Amino acid sequence: MSPAAPGSTGKPASPARRRFLLDAARTGGGVALFSVGLGLYTQQAASLPALALRPPGALDEPAFLGACVRCGLCVRDCPWDTLKLATLGEEVATGTPYFTAREVPCEMCEDIPCVKACPTGALDPALTDIDDARMGLAVLIDEENCLNFQGLRCDVCYRVCPSIDKAITLELQHNPRSGKHALFIPTVHSDACTGCGKCEKACVLEQAAIRVLPARLARGELGAHYRWGWKEKQKAGGSLVPPDQEHRYNLPRGERYDYEGKGLIMDETDQAVPFARNPLDTLNRGLEEQR
């Protein structure tokens, strides 16, 4: 605490110098500690919860967190009040824009005002066609409660989709429960689904059976070494494992299998069979005479 004597600066460990070094070390240490804390906190706070979706055109989450300055201009220009800025205490990184599909989905504005409003490029201005947006991917997550999976014709998620018949289709399946009806299975296609969340918002259940998830949660990924044999074959224009032998089915004479075509074919022309086609005919023979 004693003031430095004037002219003592030349000596290596004058009190003033020592004090300066101590103070610097103390401050530096404190700030280093603070930085480690903040660094760890940001790593935790940066993880996006599953149901929070970024606006259209948002860069990949890590890049987005380095690009978005948390200004809220996108929020202001969203005509549907879809977007909001996360506040401290929410699970989304403080100040960054997001929306929750079940609350207010994205209406897929044709002029994409949110992207136009973004001054930083955190929402990529290269996105000019809203159909190219990938805010997430709808997943029919609960087959046990989805009405269509039970054989009913709810279809609501399908009907509300702005990209109906491209992003989501109804695929027909046999209904094994009733034995005579069809199931109309809502099926999402990742090549067209923008993740707007209108389906999730509209699902008639208490809790939506279809939900938009961030791609990282919604999609699987093949191992880099994995190849689909038939696609490779198609690409190559022929079999890649010679010799490409034609598959033979061990079928009775007069029956053929048309692979990828009609299926089982019975040649009607070949009648040189010693037995009746219908085994019942043989059994009923005697009975007919009794009658």
Partner 1 sequence: MIRDRHPGAEAVAQKGWLRAHAWLLARRTSQLSILALFLLGPWFGVWIVKGNLNASLTLDVLPLTDPYVLLQSLAAGHLPEMTAIAGALIVAAFYLLAGGRAYCAWVCPVNMVTDGAHWLRERLGISGASRLSAATRYWILAATLILAALTSTLAWEFINPVSMLHRGLIFGMGLAWLLVLSVFLLDLLVSRRAWCAHLCPVGAFYSLLGTRSMLRVRAERREHCDDCMDCFLVCPEPRVIRPALKGAAKGIGPVITSANCTNCGRCIDVCAKNVFRFGSRFGNRPDTPGQSTQHSPGVEVLR
Contact positions vs partner 1 (CB under 8 A): 23-24, 26-28, 30-32, 34-35, 38-39, 41-43, 45-46, 62-63, 65-73, 75-77, 84-90, 93-95, 117-122, 125
Q: 30 or 49: whose CB is closer to partner 1?
A: 30
Residue type (1 letter), 178 = S
Which residues have CB under 8 Å from 86's CB, separation 6+? 52, 92, 93, 94, 95, 96, 97, 98
Among 78, 86, 112, 203, binds ligand SF4 (CB under 6 A): 203
Each residue 94-113 as x (binds ligand SF4 by CB under 6 A) or -, in order, gives ---x----------------
Question: What is the C-alpha to C-alpha distance for residues 72 and 1, in angstroms, rounded to an integer?
Answer: 49
For residue 91, the partner it binds in ligand SF4, partner 1, none, with Cβ less than 5 to 8 A by kind, is none
Each residue 123-162 as x (binds ligand SF4 by CB under 6 A) or -, in order, gives x--------------x-x-----xxx-----xxxx---x-
Q: 112 or 161: whose CB is closer to ligand SF4?
A: 161
Q: How far is CA 47 from CA 44, 74, 100, 198, in A?
A: 6, 21, 16, 24
C-alpha gyration radius of the chain: 34
Question: What is the C-alpha to C-alpha distance for residues 37 and 31, in angstroms, rounded to an integer?
Answer: 10
DSSP 59: P
Question: What is the C-alpha to C-alpha distance for residues 104 and 81, in angstroms, rounded to an integer?
Answer: 8
Under the rule (CB under 6 A), what is the footprint of ligand SF4? 68-74, 97, 117-118, 120, 122-123, 138, 140, 146-148, 154-157, 161, 163, 167-168, 186, 188, 193-199, 203-205, 209-210, 212
